[in-house]
Amino acid sequence: MSKRPKYIVLIFIFSILTIDSFSQSIYLETVGASSEETKVIDSIGYKNNFKDYKSLDTELNALTLKLQYSGYLEAIISETSKLNDSTYLASFSIGKRYKKISVSISDDFDTSLLKDLPLDINNNSIEIKISDLEFVLSTLNKRLSDQGDPFSTIQLTNISKRSSTDINADLKTVSNSKRRIDSIIIKGYEKFPKSFVRRFLKINKGNTFSIEDINTKAEGLGSLVFANQIKDPEVLFTRDSTILYMYIEKTKSNSFDGFLGFGTNEETNKLEFDGYLNLILTNNLNFGESLKLLYKSDENEQRTFDVKANLPYLFGSPIDVDLGLNIFRKDSTFLTTTQIVRLGYNINQNNKIGLGIDAINSSNLLENTTTTLDDFNSNFYNLYYDYIKPQRYDKLFPINTTINFSIGIGNRTLQNTEFNQNRVTFSGFKIFNLNDRNSIYTKISGAYLESDNYLENELFRFGGINSIRGFEENSLIANLFSVLNTEYRYKVSNTLYVHSVVDASYSENDIINSKTKLFGFGFGFGLLTNAGLFRFNYASAKTENQRFSLSDSKIHISLTAQF
């Protein structure tokens, strides 16, 4: 019989024994110079089981720092010995515990850096607890760096005993010349509009350098629909310049939105269709501009054509310009044209205020003039406020909160007679995220027109998928109305959600002296596909004293696609 198998067995057994010996744990025991010091070390706490000597040595250094941060500034490892093959003994000498340190500061030290820190200021010195010393010094270093000197350091010098529990020291600041941003370079999307860097992100050449401030501002790129941040900004320091690199990519921001609605006409019992097409073109000229085109056809033989253009940060300023044209035709009854000009000031990434003018011209298309329908011209001078808060991480619901509010004063000219009028419009929604899957959507919208008398062709029109659901598009008219939309939303997956529909509305029409309460109930779902977001809504409408009827229900189907 060959002897080779015996050798293989012996080598295998030796290998197992060797691996077992190498995998044996190493244990640590510690003692102080006295029993009291040992109790202190045990109260600090430390790890005592290690896989190798390097891990043990790291823990000993960490334990020494813990003792020093606790006030035992003289703590050292006096000796390390090996008790047996697996146990090491570390002997410490920790000395006295110091409680406070009195730090002298120079007359030219910026005391504003000390704001909100756990310390006491006495003339030209500060009193700090030893347990707070590390936090205070690291915070001071960070604040100096945020002031534009990233290479500055705070040091304690001339350390000496003041008493058995307190020590003295001098505060020394070692700094270089302050750094300012000399150049900003965009990588990835080189044609990213520079005005958005300067005005939207508020990152400019000449700004005091602070990497934390830059990172915070750069997060605002998540609010833009046409650009994303690829990775965090980086900085190149040379002897005499500071160059900031920002990594941005251009994203699909154009959208096409349309819906088809259908329901049964109560009078003819025939199926009727309505719908709209909404095209939004954004940043195609790399200026951050947007152009919105809307065409809507209602089953009530109403036609709406609406175009809006936004020119942001005009000539590099914080000023936006909004231009708009709206044409509304009610079958052969009347035609109303509204022209809009607005100047907005961008306070920050989320808030904007502005002034605007709305010029309205309406023509009676009927042969005979009535008391409630006539030709008129109106002008309103508006003050408005816009707010938006995105949540771009959520593809289904990329916007969390919006607020749009406008108040205007003006007049209406009717048969060479002027009537003073006031107008208020508002809309806004908020998504309350309960957890990753459940959320509640709430939207409030409405308008109020104050006037001595009213014409039918100047009243507000509402109802439909973007107002109170279950009613025909723009079938409701009022001089005062408010709508509450609510949805409970449940995410089945990252691309599919289902929701309830609970809407309520209150309106007043002073022409016919009516006050109406309306309700809409139903359900729907949304599906994110390669083509876009597909939405389905089924809602049934009722008035305050009316029962639900399936014949009053509306089905709305829409698709929003980005390209």
DSSP of 52-115, one letter per residue?
SHHHHHHHHHHHHHHHHHTT-TT-EEEEEEE-SSSEEEEEEE--PPP-EEEEE--TTS-GGGGT
Is 194 in the same domain as 134?
no
User: Of 57, 76, 93, which residue constitutes the final position of a domain?
Assistant: 93
CB neighbour burial string for 444-462, b if at least 16 within 10 angstroms, e if fewer: ebbbbbebeebbbbbbbbb
Is 168 in the same domain as 191?
no
Question: Please, how many CA atoms are within 13 Å of residue 512, restricted to the half-sphere of its CB?
Answer: 12
Is 11 in the same domain as 85?
yes
- pLDDT (tens digit per residue) in 352-408: 999 999 999 999 988 776 778 899 999 999 999 999 999 878 889 989 999 999 999
Cα distances (angstroms) measured from residue 497 to each of 29, 431, 442, 444: 59, 14, 16, 22
User: Of 222, 250, 278, which residue constitutes the final position of a domain?
Assistant: 250
Q: Could you tell me if residue 159 is left (phi over 0), alpha (psi between -120 and 50 degrees) or otherwise beta? A: beta
Is 24 in the same domain as 88?
yes
Sheet (strand 242-250) strand order: 183-187, 242-250, 227-237
**The token pair that represents 271 in the structure block:** 């199926």
Is 24 in the same domain as 66?
yes
Is 346 in the same domain as 230?
no
Is 214 in the same domain as 299?
no
- The mean pLDDT of the chain is 87
CB within 8 A of 107, min separation 6: which ones? 124
Distance CA 113, CA 109 (A): 9
Is 266 in the same domain as 189?
no
- pLDDT (tens digit per residue) in 308-333: 999 999 999 999 999 999 999 988 89
280-295 mean pLDDT = 94
Residue 10 has pLDDT above 60, yes or no: no
User: Of 93, 108, 127, which residue constitutes the final position of a domain?
Assistant: 93
**The token pair that represents 501 in the structure block:** 């529909």
Report pTM.
Answer: 0.73
Radius of gyration of the chain measured on its C-alpha atoms: 36
Q: Which long-range contacts (CB under 8 A, 24 or more apart) does 71-75 make?
A: 71/97, 71/98, 71/99, 71/130, 71/131, 72/40, 72/96, 72/97, 72/98, 73/98, 73/130, 73/167
Identity at 4, one-letter amino acid code: R
Is 418 in the same domain as 544?
yes
CATH number of residue 525's parent domain: 2.40.160.50
**Domain count of the fold of the chain:** 4
Is 104 in the same domain as 51?
no
Question: How many other C-beta atoms lie within 10 A of the C-beta of residue 370?
Answer: 10
Is 347 in the same domain as 465?
yes
Residue 192 has phi, psi (to 5 degrees) of -55, 130
Listed range (12-16, 228-232, 548-552) with the worst mean pLDDT: 12-16
Is 373 in the same domain as 473?
yes
Q: Give residue 69's domain range.
A: 4-93
CATH number of residue 225's parent domain: 3.10.20
